[in-house]
Structure formats: C-alpha cells, structure tokens
Structure 1
Amino acid sequence: MAVPPLRMRPEIAALPAYKQGRQAVADGYKLSSNENPFGPLVEIVEAVARAEVNRYPDATGPALRAKLGGRFGVGPGEVHLGAGSVALLSQFLLAVCEPGSEVVYAWRSFEAYPGLVTVAGGRSVQVPLGPGAGHDLDAMAAAVTDRTRAVIVCSPNNPTGPTVPAEAFTRFMAAVPSDVLVLLDEAYAEFVRDPDAVDGSRLIGRYPNLVVLRTFSKAWGLAGLRLGYAIGPEAVLDAARAVAIPLSVTGQAQLAGLVALDHEDLLSARVEDIVGTRTRLVAGLRELGFEVPDAQGNFVWLALGDATGRADDVFHEHGVVVRAFPGDGVRISVGEHESVTPVLEAAALLR
C-alpha cells in the first residue's frame, strides 16, 4: 500500500540537513570541528560518572545558573542554560520570529544560522563581510527594517576569525531599535587576545535587547556534553525558556559545568597553550604566502575560492581533516602541537 507524502512546510522540505565535516582519519588529526584537543579533566570525568542517569535532571539547572550568575554579577534569572549555544540561538529565534519576519547576520558566518532562521519561520538577511573578513556593522545596521526581529553578531566570527571592535559594537547598538533582539554569539570568547574586541561580559545590563551567548564546548572542552548559556534581561530569557525543549540540558552536563568552573585555572592554561599553537600556525601559513585573517578563535581561515575542494583533499591526504566550505575556503581548527607540521606541509602544496 502506497503511503502518501507528508504535508511539510515547503521551506523545511527544501532545507538541507546540517552536516558535520569529515571525521578523524586513522593516525591523523581532526581539525574540522573547532574542538578542544585536550582530554577532559579527571575531576570532570568523575563528576559525570556520579550522575544519576536513571533520573531526570533539574530542568532549570539552579546550581549552575547561580554559579554563572555570580561569575557575571547577575541573578540566576538572568542566566539560561541550553544544549550548546546553538540550541539557545534556536530558542531565541523561535521566540521572536513570525511569518514574514527577518533575521540579519553577517555572511559568511556560522553555517547553522540560515537553517535556524528558516526553522523559526523567519527569512535570512545576509550581509557580506567587510575588509579583513570581519563584520560590516554599519551595513548590518542599515539592513535592519521594521520586519527585523533579530540580529546575530558572531565575535570572533566563525569561520573567518576576526572579532567585532568594542567601539563599533557600541555604535551598532545605538543604531539598532531597542525592540530588535541582538544576539552576541561569543562561542570563542576565551580565545580572544585582541584588547579592542567587544566583550559581552562588560555589556551585561546595559541594553534591554542584548543577549550574550557563550558555551562550554570550546575552551572548556565539553563539546560532547552539549552545554551553553545565555546572559541577558530576565524577560527576554523567559521567552527562550518558554520554547525550549524540556529537560534538554542533562544532569551530566550540569555537573561537568560546575566542576569546570571550579578548575578554571587548569582550563585557562590549556587555552593559553592553544593560543600559542594558533600563533605558530598563523605565522607558518603567512610565511607560505597565505592571507590569513586575524585569528581570534581556536581556528584559522583560508579563503581559497574554487580551489577549496582540492585543498580539502590535499589536507586529507596528509592526515588532516579540515572543514571545507565549497567555493569559499577551509577552516582549520587549532589542534595538537604535532598537527601544525602536516597542516603546513599540505598547505605548501597549495601555493
């Protein structure tokens, strides 16, 4: 018996599923997902092992929210947890979008943005990156209309690397209407060493329409546990909480986050190590003649255009898995110290 096709939203039926980059190769380096190359702290592994997996977690994560609130000088109501910052992005867009509404963001930026906007029922307004592969905030502000419901600002920008200058962001916030939600996506904030970069932690409480998004996936090394957080006005966060999938932040993730915050000194040392490797990698690529944008995350960007497909294969042949964006370029995560040599050897063949 033939089964009739389901009636789906046409924009969803046409939407390609999110695809991860290539997975690790044997005896090689997976540099495609911006993961922390260090293994988890023993203390975190022990905490996760103690979790009662037969019980539902506390849906609101009160202990972790309180600890994060103390860290950023806000109350627990001004902190919201999610299964990674991408889940939080989805919730905020679901809360503000309606048919015909628009979401403004730079492009190229995080590849999940277009899909999240479409699923929320909105329409993407993509503003080309400016000089140096960074955000053109003036153009983004000019793209805001009465149909705009949200603007996403990614700093450092994934996959290109540059941050948004603090002074430019202040002007941008002054230009954006106060009833338009601004999501400052700072998934890589801990890796930033640019003193002039925007720092969402210094803006908390200043704007009624600003939400700062951060994650434990990158610098904190908890990507597999899926844990992110948002800080912003409680009424705005309540809207995200209303559309969130219940119980999506596991008890294991909450415990891991608490332990990670208790061992920030150890994790910060790991971040400094990654920043040092990033410096070596950028210097090596520039010596080969590549124009590498200012890298402020745990990744570097090579704009290779039509040569992207060949580059992806060359890196793979050298035991290095990178993230290729066909027609645009490749993003190379900063990994183990030993990974720099094969990356540079492969890159040399592309010159």
Structure 2
Amino acid sequence: MIVGIPKEIKNNENRVGMTPAGVNELVRRGHTVYVQKDAGANSGFPDEHYERVGAHILPTIADVYAKAEMIVKVKEPIEPEYPLIRKGQLLFTYFHFACDRKLTDAMLASGATCLAYETVELKDHSLPLLIPMSEVAGRMATQEGARFLERPQGGKGKLMGGVPGVKPAKVLVIGGGVVGYAAACVAAGMGADVTITDLSLARLRYIDEVRPANIKTLYSSEFNIRAELPTTDLVIGAVLIPGAKAPHLITRDMLGLMEKGSVLVDVAIDQGGCFETSHPTTHSDPVYEVDGILHYCVANIPGAVSSTSTLVLTNATLPYAIKLADKGWEKACAEDEALYKGLNVVDGKIVYPAVAEAFGLPCEKI
C-alpha cells in the first residue's frame, strides 16, 4: 500500500502521524511511504531520519494526498485539506466528528473512508488509540491549569501545593477515566487538595483503592458539583462518551458560584466541551474569560509536548496501521472488531451511530 504522512497544519499542532521507527516497519513489509517535507521536524524527527528508513520526502501536502492510498495523521483534516481528499482514500486519524458538522459534511462529500482513532474500541470497551493522548492531555491539563492560576496569567494567584501555614489549591476533576485520573494524580503530586467525580461507583471504588492520600472521590451529580464550586480553584473537565458530543456539566449560571480568577480546563473540547461556556482555543491564544472565570479550551493539548506525544501515539497506532496497510481496510476491519468500530464515514455514508445521532442523520450498516 502507498501510505502518506502529511505535515499537520492545525494551529500549533506539532505532532506527526508516524515516527521514523513506524515508517521503518511499514517499509520492511513492502509498503511505500511518502512523508511531507519537515512533517516531523517539530517532534524531533528531521527528514533525513525518514529517508534513512526508506521513506520518500515530498515537498507539499498536496503531493502527499495525491499519491497516498492511506493517509496517517494526528488531527482531523481542516478546510484547506478538504479538496485534497479523494473518493476511496483511507484516512486514519483523530476526527471527533460529533462536534463538527462542517468536517462531517466535507468527509461525506469526499467519498473517503474515515477511520477514527478515538472510536477504535476493544472488547472491554477500552479505547486503545485514545488512551495514550488522554494520558498526556490529563497530565497537561493540570500543568496548564496551575499556570493559569498564577496572577500574571489572569488567575487568582493560588499555588497548587500551598506552603506551610497556607492551604493548597482545591482542584475538582469531573470524570474519573484515563484523563481525569491522570489529571488528579498530577494535581495530587503538586500537593493540591483534589476531588475526583464519576458516575461509576466501580470506578470510584478502584480510584479509592489506588489514590494518593490527597485525592478524594465524590459521586458525580449536579448537586454535588454545585456544592464543590464555591471553594474550588481549578476545575478539569474530563468527561467522555465515545464518539458522541460531551454533556454540559457546568452551566453558565454555575460560574457565579466560583471565585473570580478561578480556572476551568476543558479537556473534552474535542467532543464539544463539557462546560456550557466552552469554545475551542489554540496554544497561541489558549484562554478567555467568562464572568471572571478563565477558560482553557485548547483542542490539541498534547501538541505542546509533541516529541512525547508522537512517540506514544505511534506506539499505539502502528499495529493497526500495519493491519490496514497489509490487508486493506475492508479485510482488516472484517477481521478486527476494534478496527471495525473505528469506521465513522465510508463512501459518503455515516456508519457510526453516535455521529449520526449528533446530527440527526441516518446511520448505514456496512
């Protein structure tokens, strides 16, 4: 198969779809790999590293799309890429369709096959291609939240761990999954007073068994969240419904319960955000204020630590990319139920129920 790895063009997206080590595995199996010039430069992988393992370097993104049967990316295509995508081409990347009608319509019109990292799902319902970036995003969410609590950044001037004689910051993590637990552990490591909420009592029991001493668990409900907000300095939203739009768990009126200069970090922004007042931001302009509350809603948080993120992402995606290249998407998805669940759009049809439901469109079976 001919595989293409374009340079990411989303704002401050520094990751690349595959490392030279990943390319080496594809080339060893007889596949042809085209990499756009400087695609890996911001992740620490210069063109010569790709050439050394047998990749061909092409000068433009259009050249890569024109040659490739399968495109391996990190983030969803954005508007300048739409005309480059052709019927029958396989795109293997994060899509998050449910919160982006324009992207959905463009991919339907293209006739391409869109296999989304975020909905590849194992029998135990875990999401093997989302977990690595969730781990990074969770850790980064706390790191960024701590930064924006600083007064020069617009926050209330709270130190996460406090100091002797002064209480630490209070952190509320909404969602006890991979993102939430990673965020809570980093916050706890910084010395904060951390509360993590979830709807699953089984998950809360697990967290309670393995948690550091300064993490408390709380059943997630509107009542409980409202009760926590007046004394909370940093809220991290980490709620996920696979493939579907995130629910709004903090509404506009609830902001009035918080002290001015408090910070909301919405890690669910890729899926529409779990705060009513959230809208996507970028690494170059990461925060905005609503009713005195800072909102950090960067849609590609792991892009800031691109070297780490690219390495861990390729570790997870490469076995699936090899299956797709070796067998073609139809045979690979027929043989691997996890990959089959990654199919979102095929030949102008939505085939993933949560995406169809988000827009009131029909869902086809393949």
- TM range, smaller chain: 0.3 to 0.5
TM-score by length of 2: 0.34
TM-score between both structures, scaled by the size of structure 1: 0.35
Q: Report 1 or 2 for greater relative contact order, CA contacts < 8 Å, sequence distance ≥ 6.
A: 1
